[in-house]
Amino acid sequence: GPRRSGPQLYCELKRRTRIRTVDGTQEPFSSLGWARLVPPRPLDQIQTPQYRTCAVVTSAGSILNSSLGAEIDSHDAVLRFNSAPTRGFERDVGNKTTLRIINSQIVSRPEHQFSSSPLYRDVALLLWDPAPYSANLTAWFLKPDFDLFSPYVERRRLRPQQPFYVLHPEFIWSLWDLIQDHTQDQIQPNPPSSGFIGIVVMMSLCRDVSVYEFIPSLRRTDLCHYYERYRDNACTLGAYHPLLYEKLLLQRMNQGTPMDLEAKGKLTLRGLRNLSC
Ligand code: NCC
């Protein structure tokens, strides 16, 4: 699509994406009684009034030795991803976690110990799975990438007080459409990364969003995650996810300084709610 300026991108994002979760009003979920299973409060009203400042902490290896922990924890809310720990890494990543976005591998693969690990307790959880683009919910329910539905139902029954949502495939794919429409290349037909999904969620919930190490700082490394020894450049540039395109798009929306980007890997983004478009 045509190259849009930063302010135009904000308005496009606001116009075209609305956070949506599976709320039990559509089949097959309505017949399964999900209207009573999901949290009564919609995700975009999880906090009233709105969070003021929010931090998004990616899992990139380049956050090691950043000493960003205190700055990250000074935000009202902090979003982390999948199985990324804080324990033992507080100096660099902080220790506050308000929300965690998890993909369907986390709830279905035994090594993540979803039902017993403290990582997934006392935080709001947002779960997603790469549904088919058609977003036929019945087809998705019968054949998800990884089985997310039974662990979700089980956790809702066990801990009804925990805010725990399943992101709607239409929301995920609306983000893919947006990325595709703002690049010249044909991008791979796979959903955006948890990182991109999480950043847009926080832009909807918060007035200001600081994102750490989505765009790599000068500490850039092929170390995939700060909490593992595994090395692969694809973690930063993408293979399955259109990660490079996600990064180029958000870099155009940065309101922060080049210094912050280089030294902290920090993008500063405005929340969408108070934009006048
Ligand atoms: O690696 P992952 O992502 O959990 O990372 C969370 C988000 O941080 C950003 N990131 C991460 C590493 C890096 N070097 N640079 C980055 O920018 C990305 O935005 C990323 O989304 C995912 O998106 O859900 C993903 O999950 C993992 C894996 O499933 C989970 O960690 C659970 O083990 C995927 N890896 C595999 O499936 C092998 C990864 O592709 C995407």
* Across 36-43, average pLDDT: 97
Pocket test for ligand 1, best of 56, 57, 58 (most atoms within 8 A of CB): 58
Whether residue 41 has pLDDT greater than 60: yes
Predicted ipTM of the assembly: 0.99
153-188 tens-digit pLDDT: 999 999 999 999 999 999 999 999 999 999 999 999
Q: What is the pLDDT of residues 266-275, one digit of tens each?
A: 999 999 999 9
pLDDT at 151 over 80: yes
More confident residue, 32 or 2: 32
Residues 212, 123: Cα–Cα separation, whole Å: 20
pLDDT value of residue 2: 59
d(CA 114, CA 123): 13
- The DSSP H or E segment spanning 78 is strand 77-81
57, 59, 245: residue to mutate for ligand 1 pocket, most atoms within 8 A of CB: 59
When pLDDT is averaged across residues 2-29 and rounded to a whole number, the result is 92
Ligand 1 closest atom vs CA 84: 4
Query: Where are the extended beta strands (E) located within 105-170?
Result: 124-128, 164-166
Determine the pLDDT at residue 4.
76
For the segment 221-247, the average pLDDT, to the nearest whole number, is 97
Query: Rounded to two decimals, what is the model's pTM?
Result: 0.98
The residues, any chain, with a CB within 8 Å of residue 161's CB and separated by 6 or more, are none
For the stretch 168-177, pLDDT in tens is: 999 999 999 9
Instruction: Please tell me the distance between residue 24's alpha carbon and the centre of ligand 1 in angstroms.
Output: 28
DSSP state of 68: -
Task: Give me ligand 1 centre to Cα 33, in Å.
Answer: 32
- Within 6 Å (CB) of ligand 1, which residues are found? 58-61, 81-83, 103, 105-106, 193-195, 214, 224-225, 235-236, 240-241
- For residue 81, list its beta bridge partners: 101
Q: In order of start, what are the domains of the chain with their CATH numbers?
A: 6-270 (3.90.1480.20)
